[in-house]
A and B are shown apart, each in its own frame.
Chain A
Amino acid sequence: MAAIHSAPLWLVVLVKSALLLLVVITTFAYAMLAERKVMAWMQLRPGPNRVGPWGLLQPAADALKMMFKEDLTPKTADPLIYKLAPFISLISAFGAYAIIPFSEPSPGDLWSIGNVNAGILFIFALTALGVYGISLGGWASGSKYPLLGSVRSTAQMISYELAMSMSVIGVLLLAGTTSLAGIVHAQHRIWFVIPQLIGFVIYLITAVAETNRAPFDLVEADAELVAGFHTEYSGLRFGLFFIAEYVNMLTVSCIATLLFLGGWNPLFGLTVVPGIVWFLLKVSFFLFFYIWLRATLPRFRYDRLMAFGWKVLLPAATANLVVTAIVVAYIG
């Protein structure tokens, strides 16, 4: 503790970032394994179990495989942007962790790297940047399926980001702050999932769409678009997109936990269990939920996806926001 106080700020931030990067990458690796395992169980298969006990070393094997595969660039591709796109995706995916608080802010800010006042907005800004990785990557591949994927991703992201922001603003109104730690503190008595149930449901749905996961994975829809925006990518560059997708999934799970499930606030008043454990439990629940959804629901048809976003989610989110605003203005 004392060391944290005396060390220069840049060093603290650097060390924390490096540690967090390690944690997030490991979580990504095991989230991927968990997804394969859980989906296998739901489909009556054992899942990966050859590498290491219970397949626990599978992520390492996959990483090695990805590193040693050839990195191809199609002849028709725009080389610069083609090579740049995965990095845009990855950086914007990791950026969110700069401000996510993982537990009660302690002296020395042990559980988060930075605390930005416009916290939740900062994350929205980063997700907004993340679209560029996908849409530019798909465009720069110089091939028809990636192009279709990238056009879809652009339209889908814009449509669902609106509803997502709307659903989150309800929480901001209740909490009266945009700082993530502040929002969690505001849930000390009651988790926002209860007063903001509609917002929570809308957030869950839009978050799936934002991270391009089934049943909203129109962007890569393997049944129609081969592999969508990353059809032409191979080797490590494909790996970067892959990491970005899972890290985004982790991010939206963290945000859902912070905004709606009370962050590190304990359940049943069990303050004995440290906050970080509660936080991780709730995040794991969301991760499981996303995997569960993927194993259950068939992919949406594209026009239905758009109709659902604009005609159902956005009006519902707006109505929820208006009602919340009125209630906050006249009662709270």
Chain B
Amino acid sequence: MLLFWLLGILLIASAVFVVMQRKPVYSVVGLLLHFAILAVFYLTLNAEFLAVIQIVIYTGAILILFVFVIALLSSGTEAFAAGPNRMPKAGVPAALLALVALGLLIYGVSRGNLFASGAHVAASTSIAGPPGTANVFGSVADFGKALFTTHLLPFEIMALILMVAVVGVVALAGDESPYVPTRKRASAVEREMREAIVRAGEG
């Protein structure tokens, strides 16, 4: 119980740290910390597998891309300029909306009896197995079963959404960009150069 509150405070603190930083890399480090604490949270819930996957996917794949983008875009170490807030009007409704969503979440969670001890919660919120089965949340086999039977539709929809995003990125930044050398363009350039050389020889 003490661990829960300690981790919870740390979790929220790291989340606040992420939002408060002006330097993007500090935010990333904060997020890294946040994900790590979240993984520890999963561990206290006996969800070993979920904890590890949390780290592998979120920190190992997603967050590292953030670092990649930050390193590529702002090559220096300067912070974001403290410019004027461009969307002051959007701020208030967005904050309200977030507050309502958070309130609903807390309401739902409190009804779900999440503030009980870790092991109990693990059992009561287990995905596939009946309540009380040990380690259902954490076992790879049960996790896989749940993913491909009970939760197959959401899983596939998620995959589709991600695929749409990938296709969108390719469509936006893909073939028409002048920075992507295609075989066709390369051969065209080569032909032009050859013709220019021939012309220069004739002239």
Contacts and interface: CB of A to CB of B under 8 A. Distances in A.
Chain A–chain B contact at Cβ < 8 A? yes
B71 interface: yes
B34 to A, nearest CB: 13
Interface residues of B, number: 32
B71 A135 contact: yes
A151 B60 contact: no
A124 B56 contact: yes
Given A132-B32, A140-B25, A125 B60 contact: yes
A136 interface: yes
A326 B65 CA distance: 33
B65 to A, nearest CB: 7
A151 B29 contact: no
A81 B36 CA distance: 17
B106 interface: no
Most buried by B among A81, A129, A155: A129
Interface stretch (A10-18, A115-123, A285-293): A115-123
Contacts of B25: 78, 81, 136, 139-140
Interface string A103-128: 00000000000001110011011011
Interface string B43-64: 0000011011101100111001
Contacts of B68: 135, 151, 154-155
Interface of A: 76-78, 80-81, 84, 116-118, 121-122, 124-125, 127-129, 131-132, 135-136, 138-140, 142, 144, 147, 150-151, 154-155, 157-158, 161, 178
Interface stretch (B72-80, B107-115, B184-192): B72-80
Contacts of B56: 121, 124-125, 128
Nearest to A142: B77
Given A78-B77, A118-B140, A121-B53, A135 B48 contact: no
Given A121-B52, A131-B60, 15 more contacts: A77-B77, A81-B25, A81-B29, A117-B139, A118-B49, A118-B51, A118-B52, A122-B52, A124-B56, A124-B60, A127-B60, A128-B61, A150-B67, A151-B71, A161-B60
Nearest to B63: A132
B60 A129 contact: yes
A118 B64 CA distance: 22
A129 B59 contact: yes
Contacts of B140: 118, 178
B29 to A, nearest CB: 7
Overall SS of chain A's interface: helix
Contacts of A158: 61, 64-65
Nearest to B139: A117
Contacts of B23: 78
A93 to B, nearest CB: 15
Given A128-B56, A129-B60, A76 B77 contact: yes
B33 to A, nearest CB: 11
Contacts of B135: 117
A142 B23 CA distance: 14
Shortest Cβ-Cβ A-B pairs, 10 listed = A128-B60, A125-B55, A121-B52, A78-B77, A154-B68, A118-B52, A139-B71, A118-B48, A142-B77, A125-B52
A294 B56 CA distance: 29
8 contacts: A76-B76, A77-B77, A121-B52, A128-B60, A139-B25, A139-B77, A140-B77, A150-B67
A193 B51 CA distance: 29
Contacts of A138: 71
